[in-house]
Amino acid sequence: MTDPAILRPTLAAPPKQRISPRAAKLITVWLRDLVVSLAISAFIIVFLYQPVKVEGTSMMPELDDQERIFVNKFVYRLEAIERGDVVVFRYPRDTSKSFIKRVIALPDDKVRIESGQVFVNGHRLDEDYVASGFTDDRSYPEVTVPAHSYFLLGDHRNMSNDSRDFGPVNIGFIYGKAVFGYWPVDKVGRVR
């Protein structure tokens, strides 16, 4: 009698599928490009431009609730903050929150508000960015903005928690300038 193991046919292992050299090169190039793209994107988001969502109505009509914008996080390393800039900063009373407001007064400026009219260094500001339906009649006593600080107000004055409530904001809390809106599509463009 013969050994049954000898009579069974042996199954050969299937041939290994090899990736062609051309396909391997294509995959390698694609992976390299993906890694480089992700690294560049991470660099841009961490150091240069950050996409953010506006939450709240304090900057209407320029910026609406839920609008998406880009914030330039690098610009103030190259140039000074200017009156009229729309800045993003950590809320001084709770640094886990970020606010967005307009720069009204610079360090050492004297600012006061009389019945809703803003005066800086004795001159009334022409605030074309504050629409008539968004003004308020509050007054604020004259203060001198401390060194390294800025007086910030929302454009929707009667709905804004701003320097009238929490005082001038130190430059250490300011981390970017709102530069470009990208959503919704009808609001695409430079933030002014």
Q: Which residues are catalytic?
A: 58, 101
Query: What one-character DSSP code corresponds to residue 157?
Result: G
**Would the CA dihedral through 74, 77, 79, 83 be positive or negative?**
positive
Residue 180's H or E segment, with its range, is strand 174-183
Q: What is the DSSP letter of 93?
A: T
Residue 16 DSSP symbol: P
Convert 69-83 into a string of H (helix), E (strand) and C (coil).
EEEECCHHHHCCCCC
Nearest to 172 by CA among 81, 85, 111: 81
Tokens in use for 2? 């013969």
